[in-house]
Amino acid sequence: MSRPFVNWSGSLAFTPSGYAEPTDEEEVRKLVTRVRESGDTLRPVGSGHSSSPLVRTDGTLVSLHRMAGVIDKAGDRATVRGGSRLKELGAGLYDVGLAMDNLGDVDYQSIAGATATGTHGTGLGFGNLSTQVSEVRLVTGTGEVLDVSATSNSELLPAVRLSLGVLGVVTQLTLDLQPRYDLHRRAWCAPVEWTLDHLADLQHTNRNMDFYWYPRSDLTQIRTMNRADGASGPPVAAAGRTPKSDGWYEPRELEVGPTHRTIPQDRELPFEEIEYMLPSEAFPACFAEVRRRILDRHRRTVGWRVLVRSIAADDIWLSNAYGRPTTAIACLQNAALPYEEYFRDMEAVFRQYGGRPHWGKKHWLSADDLRPLFPRWDAFQAARRRLDPDGVFLTPDLARLLEEA
């Protein structure tokens, strides 16, 4: 059965030839096998929050939303089904006494989709969500059910933790977690110059810290989160010290609660977004140029804000934070407003400073552009050819993204 697909922002719309909602792994395996034998393509889809065309297909679209929930737990680990939405998953983990280390800015995504695209939050001591994955179970392009962990097919773990959905359909994941805890969230406004001058101090003295810059007012909103119990969070003390304000702001106590309710924010108004991950040492110069161009060229049409977050380095092959401490700059635009001229101008700046694009957001790079940005690009391609030799998961959009001209 087919149905039109429209993503969350409304910018991606297509009608696949088929649509499937399996309820268990055996149904997934049979589906992949059938698609492979027909010579067609299959794309797994999560919640549809991504605005890049990773899921676009004229073949079969498969949603795992019927395969959700916590399967089991052992100590500070839990195995969960791939279709679990982050919001419900957070509540389910909390009920069994656990919580994720970190979350992104929203919680609409499925856990398989969020980790497959490198979704991230903020904090010097925290990688993207894929770094919390210790084991993956997937149905490969040949219909094989494969377990990947530190002890089973371990050579594939750096590939399958962030796979863009091209290595297989992820049916379950095992997550490294923490005993459940509460966070104390604060926010306040300050001039952009003050924020940039104190950025390192704010990042190092808060568990999580990010800021929005508002081009129309040229002000920032600073947001911090720290454990309510005062426990330390790597690599900084979680006491939440903030520099003296000189009268510019009064921190507001917004909320104290479980991590799955405190970190993500409601985003009812759809928006488009481009986000690039930069080497942290390049951030000051890059942000200065972004700010200059927006104020000089785009201030009249930019209706939303620019978000700055930090991400710890990791060793995941297609991670945007691979091998380097990373600072991310995201430009958001109301979905009802034009974005392409603005985003393309920002992309030119990001590329000048060695940025890597967020896989799930707007960008215009192809495989020829991407290969130099990822040191383990060729290793990932070898894993892709091994697990999907017939290109079951490779659509024209993904071929442009992954296969060099």
Alpha helices in 257-374 (DSSP H): 259-262, 283-293, 340-352, 367-370
Q: Which residues on adjacent β-strands are paired with residue 139?
A: 145, 169
Tell me: the pLDDT tens digits for 47-74? 888 889 999 999 999 999 999 999 999 9
- Tell me, yes or no, whether 145 and 214 share the same domain: no
Tokens of 318: 């297609």
- Per-residue pLDDT at 109: 93
At 248, is the pLDDT very low, low, confident or very high (cuts 50, 70, 90)?
low
Distances (CA, A) of 312 to 105, 129, 320: 16, 11, 10
Query: How much is the average pLDDT of 365-391?
Result: 98
Tokens of 59: 């073949």
Tell the burial category of 161 from Cβ atoms under 10 Å away from its Cβ (0-12, 13-18, 19+).
buried
- Tell me, yes or no, whether 175 and 199 share the same domain: no
Question: For the residues of 228-244, what is the DSSP string, one character each?
Answer: TT---BTTB--S-----
The answer to whether position 299 is within a domain reads no
- Tell me, yes or no, whether 149 and 162 share the same domain: yes
- Tell me, yes or no, whether 84 and 140 share the same domain: yes
CA distance linking residue 198 with residue 358, whole number of Å: 26
Domain containing residue 384 = 70-179+372-402
- Tell me, yes or no, whether 96 and 155 share the same domain: yes
The answer to whether position 160 is within a domain reads yes
The answer to whether position 286 is within a domain reads no
Tokens of 78: 């839990």
Portion of the chain with pLDDT greater than 90, in percent:
85
Question: Taking a C-beta distance cutoff of 8 angstroms, is the pair 122, 321 a contact?
Answer: no
- Tell me, yes or no, whether 110 and 81 share the same domain: yes
Final residue belonging to a domain, choices 63, 93, 110: 63
How big is the CA angle at 341 (ends 340 and 346), to the nearest 5 degrees?
95
Final residue belonging to a domain, choices 206, 229, 262: 262
- Tell me, yes or no, whether 257 and 236 share the same domain: yes
| pLDDT surpassing 80 at residue 16 | yes
Distance of CA 404 to the CA centre of its chain: 24
| pLDDT surpassing 60 at residue 43 | yes
Mean pLDDT of the chain: 93
- Tell me, yes or no, whether 85 and 169 share the same domain: yes
- Per-residue pLDDT at 249: 60
pTM above 0.85, yes or no: yes
Indicate the number of domains in the chain: 3
- Per-residue pLDDT at 237: 37
| pLDDT surpassing 60 at residue 347 | yes
| pLDDT surpassing 90 at residue 85 | yes
- Tell me, yes or no, whether 26 and 125 share the same domain: no
CATH number for 58: 3.30.43.10
- Tell me, yes or no, whether 175 and 106 share the same domain: yes
Final residue belonging to a domain, choices 242, 262, 282: 262
At 245, is the pLDDT very low, low, confident or very high (cuts 50, 70, 90)?
very low
- Tell me, yes or no, whether 57 and 152 share the same domain: no
- Per-residue pLDDT at 240: 42
> Which residue in 160, 167, 164 sits closest to 140, CA to CA?
167
| pLDDT surpassing 50 at residue 226 | yes
Lowest mean pLDDT among 69-83, 161-175, 264-278, 374-388: 264-278
Query: How much is the average pLDDT of 358-380?
Result: 98
The answer to whether position 342 is within a domain reads no
- Per-residue pLDDT at 301: 87
At 230, is the pLDDT very low, low, confident or very high (cuts 50, 70, 90)?
confident
- Per-residue pLDDT at 267: 73
Tell the burial category of 265 from Cβ atoms under 10 Å away from its Cβ (0-12, 13-18, 19+).
exposed
| pLDDT surpassing 80 at residue 246 | no
- Tell me, yes or no, whether 87 and 163 share the same domain: yes
The answer to whether position 76 is within a domain reads yes
